[in-house]
Chain A
């Protein structure tokens, strides 16, 4: 038999050459690995085999398990499990350009999703390729694990990121998170993904220096994969259902890990009901981050007041209760609270107390500004945030007395609510 294409070797999972198989009615009933005259004679029923050979030789590795060939063989011979339409590019067609031409990119080049790459990506999860992960807005098109894997390849993900991408897609497509509204709004928001649990370290995510910036493959490609799923599977494209007036750079990708090890507090996921040590993503509909500079505060009261003063102006100093916010507290700021023994609950309570805004500052027309709160909500004071509308996360580099505010979008059941999902392998 000529098996230079390695088809038989792959299908029979041959790892060592020679391997002798006995097949009965198409089914393997016995095999012996390597050369051993006694075993070969017993299996074949023929005596006097290989008289010039020694009695025993262990054999060598089959080309079908050569690391350089294994993925390509698996993609070729198990390709049937991937059901997506095959698109053949002409030999003179530039791969990168053809992906732009088809409208499948977010404006940056993508990695061409070949069968081998998608097969490799699918190795990152135990979930079946045809399992439906979610109905993706705005078209509410079903996204299979395979479709998510294709877009994860394009985004530049490694296979070990796929479980995080899948969890992010699941979270984004809940009624609670309301990806349809987050996409369609004229405001500049997109899904911000915060990752918790040991998987952060396992896949090399960044929670430290330049945490919200460039340079970390996992952070950037996981966020990008979610956006590509929304674009390619959901059909959500700017200028169509996406009506953002300005958008924000975060709509390409906005994903980071919480610095749990350096945090004085419990992780965001634990606060939101996930068991400690479990992997989870939390999605928040957010705009770009802006910096709180406070290099002088050494007491928690002073620093909390700084935070409150900055948070008060979010979106508009005269608008309250409409928007949530995520406060990303840097290690040098967190240290002030740790040294004073402030828990996360204490900090939140202190911020709430400082964010009760007098009506005189909120009424429409007050301070010569037409924008403001409607008369029917008139009250002596109103809180800036609804209960649970301020998320606290610990992340950032060890030097710099800064924190970051990520402003939210329409909050509550009528808008988008922060959504946490455990990561399944």
Chain B
């Protein structure tokens, strides 16, 4: 019989439920996260404009670089201040 040692991190991924989708964005705080890819700001400017017309309050955030995960402080700030988050990913 062969016994092997597990090469993985042996972690169990914690399950998290998604926040319920708000029925309307009226009066909600919507965070827009620019990951710093070129022209992501152009996309988010337009989204901000449209969200404003829908009665949402828009908060803008930017990652220092798109190549690294968002710093934990930024993630925390977004989680505390926003009801909804939209992330612009593409060039």
Residues of A within 8 A of B64 (CB): 414
Whether A181 and B7, one on each chain, are in contact in the complex, defined by CB atoms closer than 8 angstroms, is no
| Cβ of A173 to closest chain B Cβ, rounded Å | 13
Given A89-B2, A114-B2: A228 and B7 interface contact (C-beta under 8 Å): yes
| B69 at interface by CB-CB < 8 Å | yes
| A361 at interface by CB-CB < 8 Å | no
Tell me what chain A mostly uses at the interface: helix, strand, loop, or mixed: mixed
Whether A89 and B67, one on each chain, are in contact in the complex, defined by CB atoms closer than 8 angstroms, is no
Given A139-B11, A147-B9: A113 and B4 interface contact (C-beta under 8 Å): yes
Residues of B within 8 A of A184 (CB): 67
Query: Measured between alpha carbons, how far is A141 from B69 in the docked complex, in Å?
Result: 15
Contact of B5 among A150, A178, A180 (CB under 8 A): A150
Query: Measured between alpha carbons, how far is A150 from B5 in the docked complex, in Å?
Result: 7
Whether A142 and B9, one on each chain, are in contact in the complex, defined by CB atoms closer than 8 angstroms, is yes
User: Which residues between 112 and 163 of chain A lie within 8 Å of chain B, taking CB atoms?
Assistant: 112-115, 118, 136, 139, 141-143, 146-147, 150-151, 154
Contact of B8 among A95, A181, A232 (CB under 8 A): A232
Contact of A114 among B4, B8, B11, B36 (CB under 8 A): B4
Whether A235 and B9, one on each chain, are in contact in the complex, defined by CB atoms closer than 8 angstroms, is yes
| B16 at interface by CB-CB < 8 Å | no
Given A180-B69, A185-B67: A85 and B6 interface contact (C-beta under 8 Å): yes
Q: How many pairs, one residue from A and one from B, have CB atoms within 8 Å of each other in the complex?
A: 88
Contact of A86 among B3, B36, B65, B69 (CB under 8 A): B3
Whether A87 and B4, one on each chain, are in contact in the complex, defined by CB atoms closer than 8 angstroms, is yes
| Cβ of A190 to closest chain B Cβ, rounded Å | 15
Tell me how many residues of A have a C-beta within 8 Å of chain B. Answer: 44
| B10 at interface by CB-CB < 8 Å | yes
User: Which residues between 183 and 220 of chain A lie within 8 Å of chain B, taking CB atoms?
Assistant: 184-185
| A2 at interface by CB-CB < 8 Å | no
| Cβ of B15 to closest chain A Cβ, rounded Å | 15
| B68 at interface by CB-CB < 8 Å | yes
User: Which residues between 34 and 83 of chain A lie within 8 Å of chain B, taking CB atoms?
Assistant: 82
| A27 at interface by CB-CB < 8 Å | no
Which chain A residue lies CB-closest to B2? Answer: A89
Residues of B within 8 A of A178 (CB): 67-68
Given A84-B10, A139-B11, A141-B11: A416 and B67 interface contact (C-beta under 8 Å): yes
| A317 at interface by CB-CB < 8 Å | no
| Cβ of A99 to closest chain B Cβ, rounded Å | 8
| Cβ of A123 to closest chain B Cβ, rounded Å | 15
Residues of A within 8 A of B80 (CB): none
| A88 at interface by CB-CB < 8 Å | yes
Whether A147 and B7, one on each chain, are in contact in the complex, defined by CB atoms closer than 8 angstroms, is yes
| B18 at interface by CB-CB < 8 Å | no
| B1 at interface by CB-CB < 8 Å | yes
Residues of A within 8 A of B65 (CB): 181, 413-415
| A104 at interface by CB-CB < 8 Å | yes
4 closest pairs, A vs B, by CB? A181-B67, A141-B9, A414-B65, A85-B6
